[in-house]
Structure 1
């Protein structure tokens, strides 16, 4: 009997099988979705694979190595959204990027009618394009590292101007262990640097931050997105001046770390050449070295004249005479390693005095004299070890420097004006030792009749509107060379490394023929490191009778000054002349300016107290009692005027210096004495940085009453700080913060031993005040720093840093001394 199923056609089985498959599919779909939903709610444990994982990576997407898993934990949270448009602290942002150019003189375009300016601007742009094309500018390349480390960071391309700030853009955490995230464990990121400090544009809610305005910053939070948001607010500010160097930011997260280089460099100026009508003969100079064959030289010149008579031909012709000299000197002597270069013009008596001064102090030193005196006044200088080069008449100041430099064969050369001479205090050994043992390229001294001896130069503005800013100041003291400082600009007396200065050179344009000084130092910005030693004094000869021809040539007229200005603006690619501060600000002028500031602020705030002027409080002969009385009357408006209106940064800088000196995380256990505490503005900054053990001392009762209301001090002492003993035991404090207490009529150097007495061995003393007081206040000029040095020689303390910082208030610079008590 046949099977009944065999009687059913095969096609009849298809609907039955489809119904079963459909049922299975529905059940599988429901079960799979349920399990998937449950799995998404279960915290995923990290994979513990011991072999490498190969996977494709999409740029911009996070990736993790074996043992970790990229999760959605970095997805934006609602808490982050509340902080996405955070305001930035203007005290931080003002130091980021290029400083604004402030024009105080004529603009470049103002020297020309519109049609000529358009043509000149076109030529300048073409020259700038050629200059830029030939120059490798590595700072324009930004290299972002996104590797198997969870840290993304800029590996190249961060640069900052000296003493300014830059945002650490691109620094973030890409992934972390999901187990730690879901368990609520705290994440921690650390940053460390050497030549600067860290600041924050703003604080992110619920994120803990320690070490703001120090070299060590710690950020803690349990939410990865907020950690990244806070990292985006981190700003690096340079605090140790160097015209061209690198600092390193070390970043640590879990067991990973990254190194971020920051290029610190002055903005370099261009060297653009005016191209006339753009013809070859307007842009090319022919240089010929000739020896005896004058017919050939004339034929060469005539061939150029046939082409165009506008070609400039420079022919250097000489007949060599051999001089036999006995070389019996030690190689280590100054005169064997240094050649003197002098640019001379008419003043032959001065030149001979200069040469004779070398015979006295450094006999055997080779001296090169480049002389462009007119032929009717020319005198041949026949002195031993002296090479006298005659130049074309009125060839120019910088042209003579170039000629002299081209003949130097020693490692170093010393440049001097023809009216200089050596004195017993002109210790060239010091300058040689400085160049031998540091990375500086130029070391200068000071003139015998000038108190100010150095300047700072900055190029401020942007690519389309820039100018110079020149300040009478210097930077930090050079380690190992007391009373020698970093600077950007010195006097026309300096020792320099021959090879490096040749690479910069001197602009021989006629604009620098009659006057030339700053142009070399601006060309050296970011290329050469400049130092100045104020105790190396060179003589300045002013005894000769005025020479009418010399005076006529050196006293420039309006036409020459305009030509010089327009040439320099064109060459340096600047739009206008910027700020230039006076060489010497007298004490009387300082008092007048200070008085006006206070009087204006009194009128603004409608002060009800008796109108007093700044000279009263800054009177060098004032008694402590009179000074305290003034502060009593001023106390109610002091912070409004000094901190708010004048934007004094001294309390913040002083507190940051204390934090940097002490270091360490246990700031709550440190004891600090706030000397001249006043209303407690410096104390507030110390508390903000995590310090709690504060005491204060001040001579003004009313100022201390305001400080007491802030409830930040454990003890307040009303007393005058001087040689008299304070009511404090020996070795009590870990640090002293002395902010703005050194001023005319205020603290004197005699108080320093008393400050040392109350600080523990190994503790620190931080002193901050206006930098110019070192030079303008008679009681400090030759007493304060020598006293500090004497105390160090006696073994009572040791200097850690001496740093000049900008904007003590408004445009006045401040200075910070940090000493370690021994």
Structure 2
């Protein structure tokens, strides 16, 4: 017997119609309708449970649960996210140099005459404000793009030379339907215009800092926006104009950078690219001519034709009559960093290799390896090893509101990609190969006359990218009274070499003013 047909769309009639079938023992029809009936009952029950309106207490419970989930990590936990090598480097109102085991702490104001501290602070603040004018931040304002803007605009890469004109790419309005479109563009360091040939009713403010576009045609609006020009109005080497792009309630901001390109400074290494065409060896000597002559002899053993430049501020200069050695005489005791400045000022090669006057070249003093590192990376300087030690160190700078804190820690940041024996660091030992032009840019402060080394890297922080390689080394001449021609020379040298309390006080007071430091720690 046949079953009565059930429409698949008459779900409400399923239970009644299922029982309207004539009973057939073991019939397929009976099993099918009973199954449908059971499914309907279960679905109705589950649906009523799922769509049941939550009570007020349940709603409050969910809100309170969400609110309880919205909390920050404790300061003890989140501080580690902003900490590197034990130093919390997030800019803050006040930085500190915390006492710790094996750490030397120097509070800069302790080394400044107390009666002068007020006027010194005022002068330092004036100089810092002048410094900020000369070196303004290239991204002075934080810009956050709002969600789902119908405005298309460039977020980076728009550059113009001073007093020149460019077309701003990427300006468009999309997804808006209005009877009358009105778009406003605003600049602060330049003027705006469009190449589109339209009436003043459509474009108002040509050649001004604010340009208004009014039209009922979206296609025409985007045509005008495609041809908006920006003209730099002020001659500046580096400046950021944060422009505004507005359509009704929608506002976007994007940077236009004014930048004066600089001329490249290239050093010709010659067709053969010999080491002697790429590198000049530089050193500073004082009194110890016996050490200097041994150094030169060791250099000639491995690099017979390389140029050597010697800066000398000895009391009674001796002549250095060696081939391809330039000997520059300075006033007596002029100083360590003044001598370095003089030496590198006379370099005409792409790189210079700095060595102390009591070093000795060995078979492991492979200048070519250091050249390969600088040629194969973007490093500005790479140091080697002296007596098996690279003496590399990190400089970590905390920015504070009225002054900063500097921390020196021995070691490196990480390995240098492609050079397994090299690392990236902040400072290296007095045996390094460097780009001549970049070192001249930083310079060696001639006020530091006696003991100075890390101070150069402090001045170069953020300017110099430094590496250190342990597989290139140089020897160090041992102090041997029996072989020294005149013990008095070494004794006098040590008097000038000593880092006296007066020298320490002078250097720290200098850092207080020049580098705007509150404190300095060394580990």
Query: Normalising to structure 1: TM-score of the pair?
Result: 0.38
2:71 is equivalent to residue 86 of structure 1: yes
2:430 is equivalent to residue 487 of structure 1: no
Partner SS state of residue 492, structure 2? helix
1:525 maps to what in 2?
461
Distance 1:493 1:78, change over 3 A: same
* Distance in 2 (alpha carbons) for counterparts of 1:401 and 1:80: 66
Structure 2 counterpart of 1:573, from 504, 516, 521: 516
**What's the offset of the Cα at 1:468?**
1.6
Cα displacement string for residues 691-738 of structure 1 (whole angstroms, at most 9, x for unaligned residues):
xxxxxxxxxxxxxxxxxxxxxxxxxxxxxxxxxxxxxxxxxxxxxxxx
Unaligned runs of 5+ in 1: 1-76, 157-259, 261-327, 582-822
**What's the offset of the Cα at 1:117?**
0.9
Partner SS state of residue 535, structure 1? strand
8 Å Cα contact 2:360/2:474 also seen in 1: yes
Structure 2 counterpart of 1:505, from 443, 448, 452: 443
1:357 maps to what in 2?
298
2:521 is equivalent to residue 535 of structure 1: no
* Distance in 2 (alpha carbons) for counterparts of 1:427 and 1:91: 47
8 Å Cα contact 1:413/1:498 also seen in 2: yes
Between 84-93 and 127-136, report the one with greater CA deviation: 84-93
Q: Where do residues 350-429 of structure 1 align in structure 2 (5 Å cutoff)?
A: 350-374=291-315, 377-429=316-368
* Distance in 2 (alpha carbons) for counterparts of 1:538 and 1:530: 19
Cα displacement string for residues 575-620 of structure 1 (whole angstroms, at most 9, x for unaligned residues):
1222x11xxxxxxxxxxxxxxxxxxxxxxxxxxxxxxxxxxxxxxx
**What's the offset of the Cα at 1:382?**
1.2
**What's the offset of the Cα at 1:525?**
1.3
Partner SS state of residue 517, structure 2? coil
* Distance in 2 (alpha carbons) for counterparts of 1:330 and 1:155: 44
* Distance in 2 (alpha carbons) for counterparts of 1:460 and 1:329: 44
Partner SS state of residue 77, structure 2? helix
8 Å Cα contact 2:295/2:357 also seen in 1: yes
* Distance in 1 (alpha carbons) for counterparts of 2:335 and 2:154: 48
2:291 is equivalent to residue 345 of structure 1: no
8 Å Cα contact 1:465/1:574 also seen in 2: yes
Distance 1:113 1:444, change over 3 A: closer
1:114 maps to what in 2?
114
Q: Where do residues 404-483 of structure 1 align in structure 2 (5 Å cutoff)?
A: 404-450=343-389, 453-483=391-421
* Distance in 1 (alpha carbons) for counterparts of 2:451 and 2:435: 23
**What's the offset of the Cα at 1:79?**
7.2
1:47 maps to what in 2?
none
2:141 is equivalent to residue 146 of structure 1: no
Partner SS state of residue 146, structure 1? coil
Query: Normalising to structure 2: TM-score of the pair?
Result: 0.59
1:131 maps to what in 2?
131
Distance 1:365 1:79, change over 3 A: farther
Unaligned runs of 5+ in 2: 1-61, 83-89, 99-103, 157-253, 255-268, 482-486
8 Å Cα contact 2:308/2:325 also seen in 1: yes
**What's the offset of the Cα at 1:81?**
6.0
Distance 1:154 1:419, change over 3 A: farther
Partner SS state of residue 322, structure 2? coil
Partner SS state of residue 420, structure 2? coil
* Distance in 2 (alpha carbons) for counterparts of 1:384 and 1:514: 30
Q: Where do residues 377-776 of structure 1 align in structure 2 (5 Å cutoff)?
A: 377-450=316-389, 453-509=391-447, 512-545=448-481, 547-578=490-521, 580-581=522-523
* Distance in 2 (alpha carbons) for counterparts of 1:497 and 1:520: 14
1:314 maps to what in 2?
none
Partner SS state of residue 145, structure 2? strand
Structure 2 counterpart of 1:95, from 81, 95, 99: 81
Report the structure number with the largest CA radius of gyration: 2
Please tell me the root mean square deviation across aligned C-alpha atoms, in Å: 3.1
User: Runs (4+) of structure 1 moved beyond 6 Å?
Assistant: 150-154
* Distance in 2 (alpha carbons) for counterparts of 1:508 and 1:379: 23
8 Å Cα contact 1:456/1:474 also seen in 2: yes
Distance 1:399 1:388, change over 3 A: same
**What's the offset of the Cα at 1:465?**
4.3
Q: Where do residues 799-818 of structure 1 align in structure 2 (5 Å cutoff)?
A: none
**What's the offset of the Cα at 1:150?**
8.5
* Distance in 1 (alpha carbons) for counterparts of 2:293 and 2:271: 26
**What's the offset of the Cα at 1:549?**
1.1
* Distance in 1 (alpha carbons) for counterparts of 2:301 and 2:113: 57
**What's the offset of the Cα at 1:113?**
4.4
* Distance in 2 (alpha carbons) for counterparts of 1:539 and 1:139: 47
* Distance in 2 (alpha carbons) for counterparts of 1:544 and 1:149: 77
8 Å Cα contact 2:107/2:519 also seen in 1: yes
8 Å Cα contact 2:112/2:509 also seen in 1: no
Cα displacement string for residues 359-415 of structure 1 (whole angstroms, at most 9, x for unaligned residues):
1111211111011111xx311111111000001111111111111111111111111
**What's the offset of the Cα at 1:474?**
1.1
Q: Where do residues 252-331 of structure 1 align in structure 2 (5 Å cutoff)?
A: 331=272
Partner SS state of residue 138, structure 1? coil
8 Å Cα contact 1:370/1:389 also seen in 2: yes
* Distance in 2 (alpha carbons) for counterparts of 1:145 and 1:331: 53
8 Å Cα contact 2:310/2:328 also seen in 1: yes
